[in-house]
Each structure stands twice: as structure tokens, then as C-alpha cells.
């Protein structure tokens, strides 16, 4: 298969009807935080046990088309010795890999951040391909206030995302481009819309400049919402309308799919919002989910590190995956939560 055919096949597998992507690529410090909340120590074996459990969920492939793994997980094995990326692939779930090296302060831009990890990326990707990865993820983070993000931060992160995406496509790996405008802060939903529009505009301008094929990438944006400390939280219909409006203004129709992050929304909020977004009507792209916390929180609560709870944890994951699968088609009903 040529790189172009490989990219096309991966995209087609990821955007299959009724499905979304499970983000299980928490970095070392992040998974330690999630485990601490359920009283589990973050050892390599506990991380392996937990992520094996997620992947072994019976029937998960009915609602999940891809899973984003962390580098460590790509090399880990299930209890029977099968490499975890192969467990995913056997279930019909495409394995992917987080490839950015995290965020640091952006020099000379107080309050802004930049994502690092470009050096040597092509070589790393070739290795990840060998291990079974077919798509990748890079997350850029934008802090929001009256003055942030600066124009410099918008431009620098767009450039890094575009370089990353171009290197991925050059290696036959589908890039998921993730510009995340954070939920933190006291800003209005209008301010979030303004920032998200500027960010996405710059990202697609840079992607185009770096010759990235829009047909062979996916976008993973945040939804347009009010800051979590703002006294007036926008209603569901307003979040959906503002989100779709910004996306329609900035995302080319050639992009096959938009897979939202949950970003700190509760599991139910994330499902309700995705459903409302899809109910607005047909759009040029698939509008689906690539949730981390909103898919995994209930599973982690059920698991709490006890092998005896594995089945309950898998049931909890499957339930959220199924409900988001419905929301992805605008078919979710609150009664389905029971
Ligand atoms: P959340 O859905 O928890 O925001 O995680 C998605 C993700 O991959 C963040 O990079």
C-alpha cells in the first residue's frame, strides 16, 4: 500500500458510523493524578492492568473505532502476552499514539504555552508504526483570558501542529490535530468563540502552508463553552450553536472528521453537547468524540484497582461509549442513562 492509500484506509476506519475514539494516552503525571483519585498507585503494572482491561472490553468496537495510547502502552502486553496494540487491532480498533512531549511556557510570552516534541519525530513515528500505530495525536494548549492567548502563541502553536501533521503524513500516519482552548477561567462563551475561531483559522492556514492533505487528517477541538468560573454557564443549545458556527467558519469541508475532546466536562455533559451538535443537522464532516475523562471516569470509579471490579469497569466504559455513539448521530436520549 502507498502512504496515501494507507492514510485513506486509516481515516476510513476511524470515521466509521456510530463510533468515536477512546483517548487513553494520559502521560505519566496525568495517569498518576487519575489513579490517585481512586486510591491506586501509578506503577507500570497497574497502568498495564488498567489499560489492558479497557482494551479487553467485550463489544467495545461497536462504538469505538480507534484508541490513543501512550508510548509506554504501545510496548506493553496483555496477560496472554499479546502486545496491546495488537489486542486493539484484533478487536477492530485502530491503535494510535500520543507523540507530543507535553507543554512548556512559551518564551517571552507570559501566560502562554507551547507544545514540544518535533525534534526526531519522523524517526519516532517510524518506530511507532512498527509497533502497530496507524494514527497520532499532538495537543496544543491555549490559556484564555481577556489578553490570552497572544497572537504569538496562536501562531507558534499553529506552526508546531502543522509541522507535526506534515511529518505524520510523510510517514503514512494519520495526524489528529488537537488545539485545546482550555475550560479554565471566568471568560464568557463569546470570548471562547472568538479565541477558538482565531486559533482554528491560524491552524488551518499553517496546515495549508505545510502542504498537509486535509483529506488525511482529523481535527480534535474543544467545544465552545463559557469558562468554568463564569457565573452564567451557557445552555446546551447555545454551546452547540456556537461550536458549529465556529467550526463552519474555519474547518475546510475536505476534513473528514472532527472528534471533540471532553476537556473537563462531566461525562453526561460531554454526551449531551455532542448530541445537540449533531442534531443541528448535516455538516460537511463527521462530528464525533475522542474523549479521555468523559469515557474513562465512570470506569475508573468502578475499577479502583481491584481485579474483581474489572467487569464492572468494562460495563461502565461500554455504557459511555454506547451513549456517545448515539450522540454522534444525534440519537441520544436522557432516558438511555438508566
Ligand atoms: P479529555 O477528553 O479528558 O479532555 O482528554 C482528551 C485528550 O486526549 C486530551 O489530550
What is the distance, to the nearest Å, from the Cα of residue 138 to the centroid of all Cα atoms in its chain? 9
Tell me, what's the pLDDT at 2? 92
Give the residue-averaged pLDDT of 176-188: 98
Cβ contact 60:19 at 8 Å: no
Shortest-distance Cα residue to atom 5 of ligand 1: 292
- In terms of residue numbers, what domain contains 194? 3-337
Upper half-sphere CA count for residue 172 (Cβ side, 13 Å): 15
d(CA 176, CA 137): 5
Tell me, what's the pLDDT at 338? 87
Give the residue-averaged pLDDT of 194-201: 98
Q: Which residues line ligand 1 (CB under 6 A)?
A: 23, 139, 178, 261-263, 291-294
Cβ contact 195:33 at 8 Å: no
- Which residue, among 66, 51, 83, has the nearest Cα to 134 in the 3D structure? 66
Question: If DSSP codes are grouped into helix, strand and coil, which group holds residue 315?
Answer: helix
Cβ atoms within 10 Å, residue 279: 15
d(CA 178, CA 158): 10
Query: What is the DSSP code string of 262-280?
Result: -TT--HHHHHHHHHHHHHT
Supply 60's cell numbers.
467495545
Question: If DSSP codes are grouped into helix, strand and coil, which group holds residue 179?
Answer: strand
pLDDT in tens, 4-16: 999 999 999 999 9
Residue 171: pLDDT over 90: yes
Query: Which residue bears the cell 468502578?
Result: 302
CA angle 248, 66, 12 (to 5 degrees): 60
Give the residue-averaged pLDDT of 289-296: 98
Give the residue-averaged pLDDT of 55-82: 98
d(CA 184, CA 210): 31
Residue 275: pLDDT over 90: yes
Residue 63: pLDDT over 90: yes
d(CA 249, CA 221): 14
- Which residue, among 181, 202, 178, has the nearest Cα to 193 in the 3D structure? 181
Query: pTM for the whole thing?
Result: 0.98
CA angle 307, 29, 226 (to 5 degrees): 105
Q: Of the residues 26, 113, 178, 297, which is catalytic?
A: 178
Question: How many structural domains does the chain have?
Answer: 1
Give the residue-averaged pLDDT of 111-128: 98
Residue 287: pLDDT over 90: yes
Residue 256: pLDDT over 90: yes
pLDDT in tens, 294-331: 999 999 999 999 999 999 999 999 999 999 999 999 99
Residue 193 sits in a domain of what CATH number? 3.20.20.70
d(CA 20, CA 37): 26
Give the residue, out of 140, 261, 321, with the most ligand 1 atoms within 8 A of its beta carbon, to mutate for a pocket test.
261
253 alpha carbon to ligand 1 midpoint, in Å? 24
Is residue 137 annotated as a catalytic residue, yes or no? no
Give the residue-averaged pLDDT of 227-252: 97
Give the residue-averaged pLDDT of 276-302: 98
294 alpha carbon to ligand 1 midpoint, in Å? 8
Residue 18: pLDDT over 90: yes
Shortest-distance Cα residue to atom 4 of ligand 1: 263
End-to-end alpha-carbon separation of the chain, Å? 45
- Looking at the CA of residue 293, tell me the nearest atom of ligand 1: 3
Give the residue, out of 24, 33, 262, 317, with the most ligand 1 atoms within 8 A of its beta carbon, to mutate for a pocket test.
262
Cβ contact 122:101 at 8 Å: no
Is residue 220 annotated as a catalytic residue, yes or no? yes
Give the residue-averaged pLDDT of 108-127: 98
Amino acid at each position: 500500500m502507498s502512504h496515501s492509500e494507507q492514510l485513506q484506509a486509516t481515516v476510513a476506519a476511524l470515521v466509521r458510523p456510530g463510533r468515536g475514539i477512546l483517548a487513553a494516552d494520559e502521560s505519566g503525571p496525568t495517569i498518576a493524578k487519575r489513579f490517585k483519585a481512586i486510591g491506586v498507585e501509578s506503577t507500570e503494572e497497574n497502568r498495564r492492568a488498567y489499560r489492558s482491561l479497557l482494551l479487553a472490553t467485550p463489544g467495545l468496537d461497536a462504538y469505538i473505532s480507534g484508541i490513543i495510547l501512550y508510548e509506554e502502552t504501545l510496548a506493553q502486553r496483555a496477560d496472554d502476552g499479546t502486545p496491546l496494540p495488537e489486542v486493539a487491532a484484533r478487536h477492530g480498533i485502530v491503535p494510535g499514539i500520543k507523540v507530543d512531549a507535553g507543554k512548556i511556557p512559551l518564551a517571552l510570552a507570559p501566560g502562554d504555552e507551547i507544545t514540544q516534541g518535533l525534534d526526531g519525530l519522523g524517526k519516532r513515528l517510524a518506530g511507532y508504526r512498527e509497533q502497530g500505530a496507524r494514527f497520532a495525536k499532538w495537543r496544543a494548549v491555549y490559556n484564555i483570558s481577556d489578553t490570552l492567548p497572544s497572537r504569538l502563541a496562536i501562531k507558534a502553536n499553529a506552526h508546531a501542529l502543522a509541522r507535526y501533521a506534515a511529518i505524520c503524513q510523510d510517514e503514512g500516519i494519520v495526524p489528529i490535530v488537537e488545539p485545546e482552548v482550555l475550560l479554565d477561567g471566568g471568560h464568557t462563551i463569546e470570548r471562547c468563540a472568538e479565541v477558538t475561531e482565531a486559533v482554528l483559522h491560524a491552524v488551518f492556514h499553517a496546515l495549508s502552508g505545510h502542504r498537509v492533505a486535509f483529506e488525511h487528517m482529523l481535527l480534535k477541538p474543544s467545544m465552545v463553552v463559557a469558562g468554568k468560573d463564569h457565573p452564567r454557564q451557557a445552555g446546551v443549545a447555545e454551546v452547540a450553536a456556537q461550536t458549529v458556527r465556529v467550526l463552519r467558519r474555519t474547518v475546510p469541508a475536505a476534513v473528514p472528521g472532527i472528534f471533540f475532546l471532553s476537556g473537563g466536562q462531566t461525562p453526561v455533559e460531554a454526551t449531551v453537547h455532542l448530541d445537540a451538535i449533531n442534531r443541528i443537522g448535516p455538516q460537511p464532516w463527521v462530528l464525533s468524540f475522542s474523549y479521555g475523562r468523559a469515557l474513562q471516569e465512570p470506569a475508573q470509579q468502578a475499577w479502583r484497582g481491584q481485579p474483581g471490579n474489572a467487569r464492572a469497569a468494562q460495563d461502565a466504559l461500554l455504557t459511555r461509549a454506547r451513549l456517545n455513539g448515539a450522540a454522534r448521530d444525534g440519537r441520544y436520549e436522557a432516558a438511555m442513562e438508566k
